[in-house]
Structure formats: structure tokens, C-alpha cells
């Protein structure tokens, strides 16, 4: 089928191309889309070179599927235009996530919501995706009452400029700053802008998106999101209170059987998930440090790690496309 990748030169867009190729998604013609300044350059996909075009150029092509990762404004302006032409759009920006008419999908969690009428489908925030992958099987088991999450997020979540800032600082080189403060040897307790309630936009994304994905609009959840100088993925400390009394052995068993989840949890062997060691360039969500919260009843702690560019973005989008194809919601 004809597949467009909008934002193909960005970190997530380039990984989308890689994942499409790795997973042998049936691309008969690739349409790589980026800004006007990159028009005429080319990208390599599955051993073949494809010229980069603009969004306007792409509209003249007969596209079956478009994966968007070019920012909220591009998605706001162009996703409806593509959809009107009959192209199914899977959007990685925050633009459509909380639109009540647009499904917000993690395939292992709620893909059954999708139908042939869905022409714009939202990919959740990277930190939300990995958390709900761990929450959903436990919510089905015990029903969740409250979630407290603190994140430790990779600079790759900000983009190339942030990666360059970190590398430049490590080399003692002056350069463009993605953050207001140094990131090397530092921790920045702010991701995205602050909202009127003094939470950041990233924190409220995790709250609101989790409620929508789990279909629990009143779920008690609070988040603190933090940028740290690491590569390879995001890490999360998740404290979960249930209505029923949980059993740690049962939790380990259920998570071990959950699709897309891998349990790494052996304190005696110092085995626990880490972004660089375990998650980088892999598609699983890794869970460890599974233990009871001894300060209150019916509560457990988890440590959740995943590659934010893959399962947190590109792979999740491609998995949505695979589900649509499998269910006959895309042209075969």
C-alpha cells in the first residue's frame, strides 16, 4: 500500500521508517514527507532511495496510510485534509489525543475500539503508553483506585536538539540549548510548559490520556515528570492502589503473560529494567522492582521502562496500522 511518513527526518519519523521495514509492513510505495527546506533530499527505506516531498506534494499521491510525527500544528492543519481524501492518519502528536471523536490507542490495551469510520487515530504520549501497558492487566485483575507516577525521561523525548545539547555538554562544547538549564549531570523537574494548576503539560497528558485509554474518566492519578541525562528510554516509578487486596506472585504472573510486557524482577541477582541495558532499540515494556507498598494497604510499587522512540512512539503507531490491516480496516 502507499504509505506516507510525515516528519520523516525527525527522531520519531526516522524510527517509524526503521520499524516499518523491520516488521515487513506491506509498503508498495513510500512517501517521505518533511518541511520545504528538506524537499529534494532523500531517505533510504528497504534498500531503496525515496525523495522527500512536502505535505502539499503528498496530497497529490494516492495514499492509503499516513503516519504523522511532525508536531501538533502540522497535525492540526493537515491530518483532517489527508483524512478527507480517504487516507487513514495515525498521529503521534498531542493534537488529537483528547478529542472525543478520535480514538487514543495502545493496541495491546484498547485496539478493539477501532472501526472503519476512524480516519484519524491518535498515538498516546510515550510515557503514557508504557505505563498503561503495565496498568491494564492489573486493572482487569484488581481494579485500580489510584496511581502515583514519577518519570525519569530520556533526552530523546525532546528531540535531536536535546540530544546534541547533552553530547555537547559532555564534550565541553558550546551549542544550541534545548533546555533552559544544563542537562548533563543534572535533573530538570519540568517537561513541557506549566499549566494553570502548576502541573506541566506532560504531567496532565499522563493523567488525562490514561483515563481515556482505560475508560476510567474519574481515575485518581497524579504525575511528576522529570528529564534526566540518559539515552535509551523512559523510566517510571509507579505506585498503584487497588480496591482489592493484591497478591505479588499473581501480579508477577499476570504481567509476565501480558502481551508486550517483559518482567525483569530478581532483587537477589540485582535484576531490574534499565533503559540503556534493556530497553534501547527494543519494543517491549519492561517491569521490575515489583513489591508491596508497606505504608498503606492494597498498594504496590512497580518500575516500568521502555524505549520511548519505539514502543513509546513509532512501534505503537505501526502496531496500530498492523491491527487495522489485520481487521480489514486498511486496503490489503
Residues 23, 322 contacting (CB under 8 angstroms): yes
Superfamily of chain region 127-307: Dihydrodipicolinate Reductase; domain 2 (3.30.360.10)
Give the three cell numbers for residue 234.
523512559
Per-residue pLDDT tens digits for 290-314: 999 999 999 999 999 999 999 999 9
Q: Is the pLDDT of residue 37 over 90?
A: no
Extended beta strands in 120-185, E state: 120-122, 144-152
Q: Is the pLDDT of residue 332 over 70?
A: no
pLDDT of res. 261: 98
Q: What is the mean pLDDT of the chain?
A: 96
Per-residue pLDDT tens digits for 277-288: 999 999 999 999
- Give, rounded to a whole angstrom, the gap between the first and last alpha carbons of the chain: 7
What average pLDDT score do residues 131-143 get? Answer: 98
Q: Does domain 2-124+313-326 sit in CATH 3.40.50.720?
A: yes
C-alpha 31, offset from chain centre: 23
Extended beta strands in the chain, E state: 2-6, 29-33, 42-45, 48-51, 65-68, 88-91, 120-122, 144-152, 220-224, 234-242, 261-263, 285-292, 299-306
Q: Give SS3 for 289.
A: strand
Active site amino acids: 126, 234
Per-residue pLDDT tens digits for 212-239: 999 999 999 999 999 999 999 999 999 9
pLDDT of res. 167: 97
Break the chain into its structural domains and give their ranges: 2-124+313-326, 127-307
d(CA 122, CA 138): 24
pLDDT of res. 164: 97
What average pLDDT score do residues 179-188 get? Answer: 98
Kindly report the pTM of this predicted structure.
Answer: 0.96
Which of these, 140, 143, 147, lies nearest to 257 by C-alpha position? 140
Amino acid at each position: 500500500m502507499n504509505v506516507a511518513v510525515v516528519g520523516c527526518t525527525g527522531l520519531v519519523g526516522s524510527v517509524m521508517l526503521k520499524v516499518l521495514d523491520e516488521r515487513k509492513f506491506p509498503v508498495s510505495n513510500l512517501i517521505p514527507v518533511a518541511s520545504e527546506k528538506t524537499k529534494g533530499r532523500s531517505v533510504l527505506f528497504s534498500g531503496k532511495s525515496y525523495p522527500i516531498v512536502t505535505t502539499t506534494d503528498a496530497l497529490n499521491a494516492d495514499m492509503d496510510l499516513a503516519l504523522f510525527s511532525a508536531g501538533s500544528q502540522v497535525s492540526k492543519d493537515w491530518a483532517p485534509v489527508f483524512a478527507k481524501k480517504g487516507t487513514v492518519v495515525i498521529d503521534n502528536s498531542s493534537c488529537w489525543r483528547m478529542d472525543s471523536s478520535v480514538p487514543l490507542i495502545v493496541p495491546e490495551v484498547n485496539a478493539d475500539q477501532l472501526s472503519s469510520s476512524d480516519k484519524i487515530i491518535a498515538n498516546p504520549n510515550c510515557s503514557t503508553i508504557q505505563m498503561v501497558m503495565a496498568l491494564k492487566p492489573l486493572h482487569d485483575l484488581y481494579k485500580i483506585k489510584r496511581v502515583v507516577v514519577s518519570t525519569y525521561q530520556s533526552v530523546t523525548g525532546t528531540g535531536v536538539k536535546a540530544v546534541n545539547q547533552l553530547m555537547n555538554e559532555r564534550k565541553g562544547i558550546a551549542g544550541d540549548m534545548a533546555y533552559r538549564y544544563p542537562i548533563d549531570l543534572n535533573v530538570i523537574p519540568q517537561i513541557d510548559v506549566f499549566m494553570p494548576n502548576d502541573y506541566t503539560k506532560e504531567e496532565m497528558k499522563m493523567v488525562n490520556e490514561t483515563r481515556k485509554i482505560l475508560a476510567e474518566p474519574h481515575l485518581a492519578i497524579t504525575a511528576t515528570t522529570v528529564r534526566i541525562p540518559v539515552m535509551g528510554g523512559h523510566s517510571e516509578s509507579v505506585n498503584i492502589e487497588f480496591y482489592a487486596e493484591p497478591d505479588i506472585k499473581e501480579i508477577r504472573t499476570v504481567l509476565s503473560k501480558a502481551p508486550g510486557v517483559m518482567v525483569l524482577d530478581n532483587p537477589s541477582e540485582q535484576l531490574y529494567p534499565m533503559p540503556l541495558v534493556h530497553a534501547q532499540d527494543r519494543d517491549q515494556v519492561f517491569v521490575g522492582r515489583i513489591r508491596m507498598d508497606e505504608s498503606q494497604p492494597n498498594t504496590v510499587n512497580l518500575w516500568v521502562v521502555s524505549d520511548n522512540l519505539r514502543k513509546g512512539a513509532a512501534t505503537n503507531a505501526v502496531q496500530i496500522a498492523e491491527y487495522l490491516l489485520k481487521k480489514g480496516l486498511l486496503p490489503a
